[in-house]
């Protein structure tokens, strides 16, 4: 089967809608940018995008079938990701009143943090799998699969880079700093709730 332009446009439209919806990734990059600056935000977005593109590749290769055959593998991934979200929430809450340090987060660490967040969120894989089943036909050539994955990565990088640039403006940063304890506790509560929901969902 051959990839068509209509299929690619449909995929990108759904992906953009998903990126714009509030979630763990949006909360994470928002906090990373306003606390660590533009470079940290862009690096975090690179990590988020790389992990999301890997989930799309996995879905195109049929990883959802593996999870269906071995439900325990999905459970392990889900619980591990949930615990990671809860750990981030606890750390964010604990340091809500602490002043921000002057040392920016190293780029490599920011990329890794973004990757871990999306790798630990099986919802990303399930979303990719659901979209791919609906939009793309089976039996795509390797070059088409590669193009879809690169297209996904490019769209994520463009979106998160733009978001980081917008959030790193002096006005936004000053506004965040003035209400840091409140914003951090809201973010911690939402991330913790997402983690608990992952654990409790069947």
Say if residues 114 and 48 touch (Cβ distance below 8 Å). Answer: yes
Give the whole-angstrom CA distance, residue 144 versus residue 132.
13
Give the whole-angstrom CA distance, residue 157 versus residue 154.
5
pLDDT of residue 65: 66
Give which of 82, 84, 120, 118 is closest to 201, Cα–Cα. Answer: 82
Instruction: Output b/e per residue, 78-99; b: 16+ Cβ within 10 A.
Output: beebbebbbebbeebbeebeee
pTM of the model as a whole: 0.80
Say if residues 16 and 92 touch (Cβ distance below 8 Å). Answer: no
Evaluate the CA torsion angle 74, 57, 107, 118 in order and state its sign.
Answer: negative
For 165-202, give the DSSP string.
Answer: HHHTSHHHHHHHHHTHHHHHHHHHHHHHHHHHHHHH--
pLDDT of residue 53: 93
pLDDT of residue 24: 81
pLDDT of residue 69: 67
Domain count within the chain: 1
Give the whole-angstrom CA distance, residue 90 versus residue 188.
7
| pLDDT tens digits along 62-105 | 766 666 666 777 777 778 777 877 888 888 888 777 776 555 67
Positions in the chain short of pLDDT 70: 1, 63-70, 100-104, 122-123, 202
Domain that holds residue 28: 5-200
Sequence-ordered list of residues with C-beta below 8 angstroms from that of 86, at least 6 positions apart, any chain: 191, 192, 195, 196
CA distances, 53 to each of 22, 30, 79, 151, 157 (Å):
19, 20, 21, 9, 10
Give the whole-angstrom CA distance, residue 25 versus residue 45.
9
Give the whole-angstrom CA distance, residue 89 versus residue 186.
10
């Amino acid at each position: 089967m051959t990839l068509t332009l209509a299929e690619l446009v449909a995929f990108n439209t759904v992906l953009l809608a998903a990126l714009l919806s509030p979630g763990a990734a949006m909360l994470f990059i928002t906090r990373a940018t306003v606390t660590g600056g533009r470079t940290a935000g862009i690096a975090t977005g690179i990590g988020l995008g790389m992990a999301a593109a890997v989930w799309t590749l996995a879905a195109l290769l049929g990883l959802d079938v593996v999870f269906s055959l071995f439900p325990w593998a999905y459970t392990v991934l889900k619980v591990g990701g949930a615990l990671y979200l809860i750990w981030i929430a606890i750390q964010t809450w604990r340091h809500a009143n602490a002043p921000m340090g002057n040392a920016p987060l190293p780029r490599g660490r920011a990329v890794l943090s973004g990757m871990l967040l999306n790798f630990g969120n099986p919802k990303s894989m399930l979303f990719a799998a659901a979209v791919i089943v609906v939009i793309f036909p089976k039996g795509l050539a390797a070059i088409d699969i590669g193009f879809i994955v690169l297209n996904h990565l490019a769209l994520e990088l463009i979106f998160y880079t733009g978001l980081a640039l917008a959030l790193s403006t002096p006005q936004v940063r000053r506004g965040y700093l003035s209400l840091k304890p409140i914003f951090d506790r809201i973010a911690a509560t939402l991330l913790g709730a997402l983690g608990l929901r992952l654990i409790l969902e069947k």
